[in-house]
Structure 1
Amino acid sequence: MSEATTPHPAAWHPDPTGRHQYRYWDGAIWTEHVADNSARSVDPLDAAPPTRREVRQQLVSQRDSSVGSPRPTFAQRRAAARAERKRGREAAQEVLRQRELVREQERLEEAARKRAAREAAEGRARAEAEAREQARLAQLAREQVAREAAAREIREAEERAARILTYPPFYLPEYNGYPSTEVAGEFARIDAIHAVLGRRPKLNEELINEDLLAALVPEPSNPYDRSAVKVIISGQHVGYLEKEVAAALQPTVISIVEAGYLPTVGARVWAIARQGYESGKKPRHFANVRLALPYASRMLPLNDPPFEAYSILPWAASLQVTGEEQHQEVLAEHITPDDESLIIGTLHPLEANRKNGKDLVEIRIDGERVGQLTPASSQHFLPTIWHLHAQGMTTAAWLLIKGSAIAAQVTIHATRAHQLPSVWFETAHTAPRLHGSMSHVSNDGAVDDAEIRAQMREPMWDD
């Protein structure tokens, strides 16, 4: 039976611990009040049992107090019992109050711990939210800077491209040859190709233009391919050189552009419209762009063009130069490990000899004679030479040198006078100066071509 249901009323009862004669029961719990031979004292229930010495001293004190002490009367005992019960009740109430205070203190401490944990969690959540917001703002700032940089780069690239298109053209060797190099990405620029052709083709109609010129514009700022070279025809962007071709040719194209020239080649554009796969569908447009690109080794000559006014004849089939065996020491300077060397030569008339009475054409490289054309071949170029000479200009042509330092052969690749289109005479066809050659034009000594190159446009790309 539990303490809450015990039948014993509040009173003094034998001490259940055996340490004293009596211990006060307050009707609910055993109290700390004890009595021995009518002498009261305090001994908590959870106190350690007294030692033998303490027991002896207690017995002696009880014996001494009982000797000569009058026995209390009934009224005194009853009053003492009432007082003891009152004190017991007060003690029990104090115990309950202390327990309640302890429980309240525990509740307050638990509430404080929970509040501190909640505040700490909220603080961590706020700190994490602030960190995420700062990271988001920083990312937005980086993205904004990247967008602005990309927009600035695109704008500068467009400005460079527009400026490049105003440069004088440099017609690459073989620019008027067969267009066999395909352009990539034309499927995404059908409208530009139609603009080049002048209109859209009708259904199943083919539109072809084989007499076009294409400009090569390097685009090292292209985010997808830093070696990109875009193709411009009639002011329209019609595609790019294929990736492998662009990687091989872009350095040469950049050097030409930085020298102030626009690399130019011949182009062929073809377009057609086909019916869609399903009936009722709009016609599908297809196009193809091809360029007359020379080999990489034939894009730039190994020497600079003449310092005097000149014009380079368009590329054509080769003609053998004669008499080159007498000028091997000059040709040896232009021999390279490659199979052939591209050179700019100049053509000069020679007076008729007594043998056949026909004027000849002398071939020179950097002012030094390297051979001549046969009388029959010379007649094809003399009209052009005389025409340009009347205008104060020198006739230049593309030469190929093959062989070794002790046995070299020279061929000339130039269009004959009767094959030149009228438009060719409208402007001089020149080439960039890239080698810093010396010009012997005054009695004060040679003038370094570096001064001329210093006046050229600055490099347009940092990379």
Structure 2
Amino acid sequence: MDPSFQTDHGNTEPAEPEDEYSGSQPPQFSEVRLRLVPLPDDGRLNVVGESHYQEALAVVAGGRTCGATFDEHIPVVAVLVPEPENPWDENAVRVDVLMGNRSLKVGYLSAGWAEDYQPELLELRAEGALGTCPARVTGGGDKYYGIYLHVARPEELRSGGDPIVAETTATGVLLRNDWSCTVTKEEEHQDVLRAFAPKGKQEYREVVASLGFCTIRGGKYAGGRAIEVRLGGKRVGQLTHAMTTRYGEIVARFAEKNLAVTCEAYTTRTAKGVEVELRMPRDPKRF
């Protein structure tokens, strides 16, 4: 995405009046209780009212001073929270920054944009979710901290959901569960898999798998890498060369950002022992 592209127009009127506060407020954290859904990020949108949240932005930035270029701005994940109950503007959209299992209030969308974005975000909240998007922090030092968002226009939010990621947090991503993907080498890890086997009369057991990389030890592709599958932090198998080719770039991209990559999965009992099947996104090369 071209960082110079902006969806923001000239309206910078804050959703809450400038005279509501006399200076920066103490940091205001909120518990994240809803699912987090990544929004399409092909645009740039300014945030307003940051002068009221300088202490919070300093926490987000870790007290660092940002440079003047895009690459020197601090990348974060923003949460867009619709606030129809806001006494100052019933169309308000609050901007938080995700920090672990909590979010920290850092500003608002301008009144003009909030009116357009809020209906889409309210629909999302009715489904038990909040929208997130990449964002970058600017300033620090002898300048005010600021923040801007990478998010698509309101009319594009519902039609262009992320085809790869179902949920995101500050530390990891959960991939979409469009179709099944077989795991190999489970027979070597039955001691681990037994702890995740279906219980009682269950035909299958739902689990969450984490994905990384391992070295292929034998066969045609020996010495190459495969996507390793773990349950509870312990290895239970790996993907085939074909599936590693399909999903390797996705896993690597998030791993390079120090994000844990997870996916839904389920275990079953078979004549060969306990086996695990992953739920993964559609083939990224066939979108």
Q: TM-score range by the shorter chain?
A: 0.3 to 0.5
Relative contact order: is structure 1 or structure 2 higher (C-alpha 8 Å, sep ≥ 6)?
A: 2
State TM-score, norm by structure 2: 0.46
- Compare CA radii of gyration and give the structure with the larger one: 1
State TM-score, norm by structure 1: 0.30
Structure with greater helix share of residues: 1
Structure with greater strand share of residues: 2
